Amino acid sequence: MRFAALLILVIFATRAGAADVIPVTPAEKTARPATISGQVMTDDKTPMPHGVVLLYDSNSGPPPALGRYWRVPDLITPLGEEGRFTLEVTEGTYYLQIAQKNPASDIGPAVEKEYLYFHGDSEGNALPVVVGKSGRMDLGRLKAFLWSPDMVRRETGITSVEGVVVDTEGKPVERAVVLAYYRPEGNGRPIFVSDRTDKKGRYQLRTNDGGTFYLKVRSVVGGGRPSSGEYLNTTNEFAPVAVTLKKGERQQGVTLKVMKLLRPGDESATDEKRKKRLMVK
């Protein structure tokens, strides 16, 4: 029933008007970069407030898939006034989502109801946005729908790895995310991200296909240089944990152990040293 409801909602999320390709003169082509633009509405009169544009490059990974898995976007940028956006891009093929985010919450998979525009068909498959060199792609006025986390597929028709995230004492870690990489070194931008762990440390990371993936635990979706106090894998040099999945498999019981990163000179590290000195005395 949830998936049926999802399909109905996706139908309402399709574009309010066909995309228009605006021709440019030869002089404009040399002076102006390619762009993707549009305006996102929650109804006929209301622009989406607190919107975030999520852009995916087709060269970096699979298309996003509504409710089946979370791919990490290649570009994240806020909507402008009146729900408008203009993205400067290079020639290529892209996929697009635009999500309404609580200003006080983290960027990532939805944890509460939020408006979402998904550039796709009625089956939840992403439709490509193809941009030519120095071209301008105006998607026009786009209609968002109300998305809820309970629309996510979690049991059937998915490929996933599942388990718990625990600290060095075996206690569950809440609100962490598990990131999946294609390469064993786990550098750069991850490809997939899990929902945030719950109070019991449970996670489910879904992918588009089978294969070997390399998992890291972080507090933020995009990776990057970890901050002091952030949880990281307890493996040697925080190396990712490898898992191999078959398409359609739900691999369960994978425990990921983490520790807090304390950088020299940080206040948290200083407090830890002070506690050790008191214990010695």
Q: Does 171 share its domain with 222?
A: yes
Using CB atoms within 10 A of its CB, is residue 51 exposed (0-12), middle (13-18) or buried (19+)?
buried
Residue 247 is classified by DSSP as T
Q: Does 66 share its domain with 137?
A: yes
CB 132 within 8 A of CB 223: no
What confidence score (pLDDT) does residue 62 get? 95
Give the CATH number for residue 115. Answer: 2.60.40.1120
Q: Which domain holds residue 103?
A: 2-151
The two structure tokens encoding residue 173 = 């870690």
Q: Does 124 share its domain with 171?
A: no
What confidence score (pLDDT) does residue 32 get? 67
Q: How far is CA 270 from CA 211, 275, 278, in A?
A: 43, 9, 13
Place of tokens 């549009």: 38
Q: Dihedral of the CA atoms 240, 244, 247, 251 (nearest 10)?
A: -90
Query: Over the stretch 132-166, which tens digit does the pLDDT of each residue have?
Result: 887 889 999 999 999 888 889 889 899 999 999 99
Residue partners of 227: CB distance under 8 A and separation at least 6: 219, 261
Q: Which of 116, 135, 151 is the last residue of a domain?
A: 151
Q: Does 128 share its domain with 169?
A: no
**Which residue ranges of the chain lie beneath pLDDT 50?**
1-22, 24-25, 27-29, 268-270, 272-281
What confidence score (pLDDT) does residue 234 get? 85
Q: Does 92 share its domain with 210?
A: no
What confidence score (pLDDT) does residue 269 get? 43
3-state secondary structure 85-139: EEEEECCEEEEEEEEECCCCCCCCCCCCCEEEEECECCCCEECCEEECCCCEEEE
Residue type, 220: V
Q: Does 133 share its domain with 228?
A: no
Whether 72 is in a domain gets the answer yes
How far is the first Cα of the chain from the last one, in angstroms, to the nearest whole number? 63
Q: Does 234 share its domain with 111?
A: no
CA distance 20 to 38: 10
Give the CATH number for residue 255. Answer: 2.60.40.10
Nearest C-alpha neighbor of 48 from the set 122, 109, 102: 102
